[in-house]
Structure 1
Amino acid sequence: MKPLPLPKQKNLRADCAWVIYQILEQGKSSRDCLERVQRRHNVRDNAWLQEMSLGVMRKLPLLQHWLRTLLDRPLKGNKKVLEHLIMLGLYQLAFSRVSKHAAVGETVAAASYLGGTGLKGLVNAVLRNFQREELASRPVEDPIINSGLPKWLFKAIDSAYNDDAHAVRQATNDMAPIWLRVNSRQINKGDFASLLTKANVEFSFSDEHENGIVLKSREDITALPGFDKGFFAVQDGAAQLAAHYLNPQNGERVLDCCAAPGGKTGHIAELAPKLAYCLALDADEKRLQRVHENMDRLKHSVEIKQGDATNPSQWWDGELFDRILLDAPCSATGVIRRHPDIRWLRKSSDIDNLAALQREILNALWKLLKPGGTLLYATCSILPKENKAQVTRFIAETEDANLQPIIKTETNENPGRQILPGEQQMDGFYYARLVKSSCAIK
């Protein structure tokens, strides 16, 4: 699809339609697209832009179904973006608190900002017919459309989770809560909780997370008490388990591979503040800037390097590591509820490619681990091909790799802990812990 420039003049709904177009037609992430348009708007409108654009991602199959019902023929070329504007209008009418009058009138007006002045009548007619025919109240029988997922992912979840598949899909579409991790090197959890209470911020604790706090409503993170002082990091509960499972000890050498944006690196530094060496590695130089910013704010001192994990000769100093956290590149299917655009950015073919990359990185990093050392393999995926199948294969093919169970039910054929979206309010995540034997005998 031909690139579409950002509208010259800002308009809330036109800019939102442009974001939707960038994601669905250009394969851009919502983070990058939203960042561009949010520079043009105020804080309140930025929240609306995020809510609406990501809401369309969650309901896309149903919105497309309605669009096909109402539109005689698809729009093409530089008018294609008007389909995305119409879907935004449909979403407002069916799923938002926006008044019906504004949902129609303001969406029609936005067409002019997208080069569609001559098609304002069409946009108006489609939205009016949607209301007149009461399509929002008509049930749709297709379970894939109702799931809000692409067909390949719907089937992949079915295959992996059988009777639990419906619950997994449903949790994937739920809104994710905001988790904080209290920085124990700056403040204890009780004192930080008191600060939140004084600021009238409602929250709850988690039994499994020593320093985890779950906010009960959406908040401006930068306005929370102690943000500038590094009192906390924003990190989902599932991700907070990584440093605990790795269990770093003072005096050790630790590698956090694929570390950006640095949440797990910071947690490692908090649990073992006197590490001999801690390296945060990532291939993406732009994302490493976030690691620098987070380490500065949290007041942690670690080494940060850009490098290809499959080619350690580029960045490794030659000394073996005691512990390695490999947060492997993955499909991110476990965090779709937090980043709903992921479902449309991923394709079925990506899974095999990602599994091959994970295997290559795992093989490369294993050589950097000391005998007796620990490697924690992690993904934010819920697909077995990236998780237990990957670890099962590695154990079978690697003589000195031994499973160190995280949960009691683990075996070499069924390794690791799979956390599903919504479990204890956490994102979907997978962990498997491997220990390197001192000789190649199991």
Structure 2
Amino acid sequence: MIQISLLSSSAKADSLAYQLAYAAQAVAAVRAGHALPQALAQIFARSDAPAASRGAIQDLSYRAMRGLGLSDALLALLANKPPQPEVLHGLLVSALALLADEDEAGYDSFTVVNQAVEAAAISPEMSFAKGVVNAILRRFLRERATLMPQATKTPPGTWNYPTWWIDRLKSAYPEDWQRILHVGNQPPPLTLRVNRRRATVEQYLATLTAAGMQARQVGPSAVRLDKPVPVQQIPGFAEGVVSVQDAAAQLAAPLLDVADGMRVLDACAAPGGKTGHLLELADLDLVALDHDPRRLQRIDENLARLQLTARLSTGDAREDDWWDGQPFDRILADVPCTASGIVRRHPDIRWLRRKTDTTQLATLSAQILDKLWHMLRPDGKLLLVTCSLWPQESEQQAIAFAQKHNAIRLPAPGQLLPTAGGDADHDGLFYALFQKTGA
């Protein structure tokens, strides 16, 4: 259960203090083991934060997660002991993330300090600590030139990732690990998938230009906006002309080579981006499976916006009690993983994951793949997808699966490393395509 505390009635929703106070609660929730989107959703559900402040609270929270390694290293130098309660730690790291990168953050230092002190004052759990917040942050400003080099002597302070994560990347990608870490610390782009039933990429780019929005093509159906905007402001989004989807994730549906009339399973389907893309490519008898009925509801909402339909099924992909026994022509297996390839979109993941998660999730995914394979018709195709960078969850998993089932491995991209900027701007995903031998 995430603990959310309402601010005092004197709090002004348009102030940085208000936004920092709620960002502090979101950071504290992550430290308690909760995902950042879940924490923010509960804050917004319980508070009276207006839309403009919600965007700022989210931005502050994500910025704090991206800079948590450096902020913690600075706090170790600035404070005699770890700040308590956790929400106080959340406030300090949120403020330090702004102060450490003042030019990028857009706030002057003294405004950040004053507003952080005010954030403590309007928060029931932190009102006692106004002096502590003031002293720590002002000391950072005075001693910044000395403190920053000291804080960046450790790998987490330099790269803003746990040491084990950095070491694992060095081992797996000795020539690319620094670039991968750097990309993961960048704010993600807003990439759209053009619904080819409704428009071509060229037509949609013209629509964006007419709306005063700059964009470029970064994939066969992928368009990246130069400047992210709320989805409500994206031309054609509400009408189903486009969907939000990373350029690497858009490769999944075309790899399955679907055709009208095929029976297709999208396993582990939520939130439904790949489900929608498959249905945009052909008229399919498609089953979207997920273990969580609430997540299936989100798929239903996305398909309604696209004016497409699928059969939604609640079930565990490791079991077959939801299956009607009829084999599938194509199966999309976007299996559970550590999500190490999408940390620029979910910077909290690096702090929530543990070294042992990789083995546990790889085992779970192998169980799912084994169960799905017997649901595939002879000569049918199964696409393994993960958003992981760890070979144990990707290439090693694919090799073991092919050997176990005597599966034919077809051409597919394999491991895509995350990249930013230019014509290639996408997350880190892995693809392996298999064909079942005929009966």
TM-score bin, normalised by smaller chain: over 0.9
Residues 1:51 and 1:342: Cα distance change in structure 2 (over 3 Å) = same
Quick check: 1:382–1:418 contact (8 Å CA) kept in 2?
Answer: yes
Tell me, in whole angstroms, the C-alpha distance in 1 between the residues paired with 2:381 and 2:128. Answer: 64
Counterpart contact for 2:327–2:377, Cα < 8 Å: yes
Determine if the alignment matches structure 1 residue 425 to structure 2 residue 431: no
* Cα distance between partner residues in 2 of 1:319 and 1:3: 42
Tell me the residue number matched to 1:108: 117
Q: Distance in 2 between matches of 1:138 and 1:363?
A: 50
1:16 deviation in Å?
0.9
Does residue 314 of structure 2 align to residue 318 of structure 1?
Answer: no
Asked if structure 2 preserves the Cα contact closer than 8 Å seen for 1:221 and 1:227, the reply is yes
1:405 aligns to what SS in structure 2?
strand
Separation (CA, whole Å) in 1 of partners of 2:217 and 2:109 = 39
Residue in 2 aligned with 1:263?
273
Q: Secondary structure at the match of 1:21?
A: helix
The one-letter code sitting in structure 2 at the alignment partner of 1:268 is: L
The answer to whether the aligner puts 1:131 opposite 2:119 as a matched pair is: no
By how many angstroms is 1:35 displaced? 2.0
Counterpart AA for 1:138: P
1:289 CA displacement: 1.4
Q: Does the CA-based 8 Å contact 2:194-2:221 persist in structure 1?
A: yes
Unaligned ranges ≥5, structure 2: 12-17
- Separation in 2 of the partners of 1:121 and 1:150? 30
Q: Distance in 1 between matches of 2:270 and 2:345?
A: 17
Deviation at 1:44, TM superposition (A): 2.6
Deviation (angstroms), 1:8? 4.4
Name the counterpart of 1:83.
89
How many percent identity over aligned positions?
36
* Change in CA separation of 1:175 and 1:5 when aligned onto 2, cut-off 3 Å: closer
Give the corresponding residue for 2:163: 151
1:250 pairs with 2:260: yes
Letter of the 1:280 counterpart? A
| Structure 1 residues 38 and 5: CA distance shift in structure 2, 3 A | closer
The one-character-per-residue Cα deviations of 1:151-180 (angstroms, maximum 9, x if unpaired) are: 221111111111221122212212221110
2:43 pairs with one of 8, 24, 37: 37
2:26 aligned with 1:19: yes
The answer to whether the Cα contact below 8 Å between 1:371 and 1:436 also exists between their aligned partners in 2 is yes
More deviation, 386-395/67-76: 67-76
Query: Does residue 66 of the first structure (1) align with residue 74 of the second (2)?
Result: yes
The alpha carbon displacement at 1:191 in A equals: 2.5
- Say if 1:7 and 1:14, in contact at 8 Å, map to a contact too: no
> Is 1:305 matched with 2:309?
no
Alpha-carbon distance in structure 1 between the residues aligned to 2:51 and 2:88: 26
- 1:154-233 matches, within 5 Å, as 154-206=166-218, 209-233=219-243
Offset at residue 30 of structure 1 (A): 1.3
Distance in 2 between residues matched to 1:175 and 1:119, nearest whole Å: 31
Paired letter, 1:251: G
Match of 2:437 in 1: 437
Give the secondary-structure state (helix, strand or coil) at the position aligned to 1:281.
Answer: strand
Question: Aligned partners of 2:94, 2:186: CA distance in 1, in Å?
Answer: 19
- The root-mean-square deviation of aligned C-alpha atoms, in Å, is 1.6
Kept after mapping to 2: 8 A contact 1:236/1:427: yes
1:92 aligned counterpart, secondary structure:
helix
State the distance in 2 between where 1:220 and 1:116 align.
Answer: 32
Asked if 1:292 corresponds to 2:300, the answer is: yes
TM-score of the two chains, using structure 1 as the length reference: 0.91
Does 2:373 align with 1:366?
yes
In the other structure, the counterpart of 1:381 is 388
Paired with 1:177 and 1:80, the residues of 2 have a C-alpha distance of 31
Given that 2:68 and 2:97 are in contact with CA atoms closer than 8 Å, whether structure 1 keeps it comes out as no
The one-letter amino acid of 1:310's match is R
Task: Quote the residue 1:120 is aligned against.
Answer: 130
Q: TM-score normalised to the size of structure 2?
A: 0.92
Deviations 1:357-399 (A, max 9, x none): 0000000000000000000000011110000000111111213
Partner-residue secondary structure (3-state), 2:187: coil
Task: Give 5+ residue unaligned stretches, structure 1.
Answer: 408-416
Question: In structure 2, what is the Cα distance between the partners aligned to 1:116 and 1:266?
Answer: 46
Structure 2 residue aligned with 1:414: none
The match for 1:355 among 362, 378, 381 is 362
Please say if residues 239 and 305 of structure 2, whose CA atoms lie closer than 8 Å, have aligned partners that are also in contact: yes
The alpha-carbon deviation at position 137 of structure 1 amounts to 4.8
